[in-house]
Structure 1
Amino acid sequence: MSIRKLTESDLEAVSALCISAFMAAVAPSLSPQGVATFTQIAAPDSFAKRMAGDNLILVFVQENQVRGVIELKEGRHVAMLFVDPQQQSRGIGRQLVAAALAHARSEVVTVSASLTSVAAYERYGFSRAGEISESAGLVYQPMTITLSA
């Protein structure tokens, strides 16, 4: 197993993993607008555009298969974190968070956590920071983690 930067050859697999995990865990609680918004964000071409920008996207690879992904936007915001539903509760999310936070360029890192992922982020050391909100149909809990220097 390894954690490495996303490559163009990973785009289809990462998109499929994110959409699969999202549909299983998050989509049932959202409006059709929220599902459509996420599907657009997780499309391969959307990942490619963000990969070319100031977003660090890391993948967890095991047995030549992408098993997880994390995206750190502008070195200060976790924009995506998904683990293959068949591979959850094996420490992949924790390893991805640690790897991404090692690249943080801010003392405080934020995440807009889906409501189903709040407990996981709390286990990773994040704290709730504000009220539950909604944007383009996506419902989320703002959370932060303060990194030690």
Structure 2
Amino acid sequence: MDTTAFCTLKVVIDKEIVGYGALRNGNYLTHLFISKHCQGKGIGKALLTRLLETSTESEIDLRSSINAASFYENYGFNRIGEETEFNGIRFVPMRLIRF
């Protein structure tokens, strides 16, 4: 990914990449993935926290998978539109407003 537009982070445990996240232009979360066997251990929250710390933007947008929407809501993101489908992929548009 273009390092001038993206901040990317990975989580490695025992030489295995178990998490990956990317923030574009400081205001759009494009990727946040955690290996299935590592979900529910706080890795996603830690990765998201670290990515957001790299940005000074007051609004961060993302397209959440249907299954991850509650994760983002627990973090403070709000739904800003209805569930939508694009190229066969369902998602919920969400936004975090920081003061």
What TM-score comes out, normalization by structure 1 length? 0.62
Tell me the C-alpha RMSD between the 2 structures: 1.3
Gaps of 5+ in 2: none
Counterpart-to-counterpart distance in 2, 1:52 and 1:145: 23
Gaps of 5+ in 1: 1-49
Which residue in the other structure is 2:89 paired with? 138
Residue pairs, 1:39-50, within 5 angstroms: 50=1
- SS of the residue corresponding to residue 11 of structure 2 reads strand
Which residue in the other structure is 1:119 paired with? 70
What TM-score comes out, normalization by structure 2 length? 0.91
Identity %: 26
Which residue in the other structure is 1:99 paired with? 50
Measure how far apart 1:122 and its partner are.
1.1
| Equivalent in 10, 30, 39 of residue 88 of structure 1 | 39
Q: Specify which structure has the bigger relative contact order, considering alpha-carbon pairs within 8 angstroms and separated by 6 or more residues.
A: 1
Which residue in the other structure is 1:23 paired with? none
Report the structure, 1 or 2, having the larger strand content.
2
The answer (yes or no) to whether the contact 1:51–1:57 under 8 Å persists in 2 is: no
Counterpart-to-counterpart distance in 2, 1:51 and 1:105: 19
